[in-house]
Amino acid sequence: MVPKPHIIVLGNEKGGTGKSTVSMHVVVGLLRRGFSVGIIDVDARQGTLTRYMENRKQTALTTPLPLADHVSILLSQHGSREVAVQEDKQNLENALSHFSSKQFILIDTPGSDTPLSRCAHAVADTLITPLNDSFVDLDVLVRLKFDTLDMEKPSTYAEMVWDQKKQRAIRDKGSVDWIVLRNRLTNINARNKRQMDKAMQLLSKRIGFRYVPGFGERVIFRELFLSGITVLDLEDCKIPLTISHVAARQELRNLIDAMRLPLVEQLVA
């Protein structure tokens, strides 16, 4: 019996947090470790990950690069909400079935609450929520008291994740490993950064996620988009490595290790 693919979902109801950048780098990180990966872009209207893949395929015409199979799904435009929700669910199931022979499936979701995004969250084995390193982004997860940083209540997104985790447990007794990723970190030891670290440590226990550092604030991540490459492709593309590039590659390797993906840990063992 062929094992089911491990499904990684990138989710956050706020845009501009680096979901697509993290998605592409995780995909290439897994490809370069020898795994087969399928990509489903359910943020097809924005389509950042889809364009990233298209750019990568163009670069791969002249430079050998590992590629992942990819499909994108648009929201149903049916006039009946009930029918539209069923169409979205069926389209996602079809895409998952298409990649049933892959070892990993990565799903990139939109920065908004849609039925299709909820369906994607419901099938996650690993859910990654990138946040910019600010209390504005943290508000997506939780409402905090400004004077003590104590939690007033979880956000609607956190409640949605809890609901999908419950449904997953009821449906197949599966569990969702929820990772919150502090992204675009600076090297400055500012008061805001220290407060964010303290808040994340406390909230990880209260809300039920694992907190890991993500990528630093580096120009390289934005520059690579047009060529569709990642920090792991620089040497193949004959791009001289800088100290920043080396640090970015290590951040990515640390992230994949921190994800504790069963197949990756088996490979290391």
- Residue 213 covered by a domain: yes
Q: What is the pLDDT of residue 148?
A: 61
Which residues are registered as beta bridge partners of 147? Answer: none
DSSP 117-147: HHHHHHT-SEEEEEEESSHHHHTTTEEE-TT
Give the separation between CA 40 and CA 52, rounded to whole angstroms.
13
Model pTM above 0.95: no
Q: Where residue 130 sits, what CATH number does that domain have?
A: 3.40.50.300
Number of domains in the chain: 1
Give the separation between CA 44 and CA 75, rounded to whole angstroms.
8
- Residue 138 covered by a domain: yes
DSSP 217-240: --HHHHHTGGGT--TTSTTTTTPP
Q: What is the pLDDT of residue 186?
A: 62
Query: pLDDT for 27-52, tens place per residue?
Result: 999 999 999 999 999 987 888 999 99
- Residue 84 covered by a domain: yes
Look-up: residue for tokens 């084995």? 125
Q: pLDDT averaged over consecutive 10-residue blocks of the chain (269 residues)?
A: 88 82 94 96 87 95 95 90 92 96 95 88 93 76 68 81 86 87 67 73 81 80 89 93 89 92 79
- Residue 110 covered by a domain: yes
- Which one-letter amino acid corresponds to residue 10? L
Query: Which of 27, 4, 9, 49 minimizes the C-alpha distance to 164?
Result: 9
- Residue 1 covered by a domain: no
CB count within 10 Å of CB 122 equals 19
Per-residue CA distances from 52 to 49, 105, 149, 198 (Å): 5, 17, 38, 34
- Report CA Rg, the chain: 18
Supply the range of the domain harboring residue 177.
6-268
- Residue 151 covered by a domain: yes
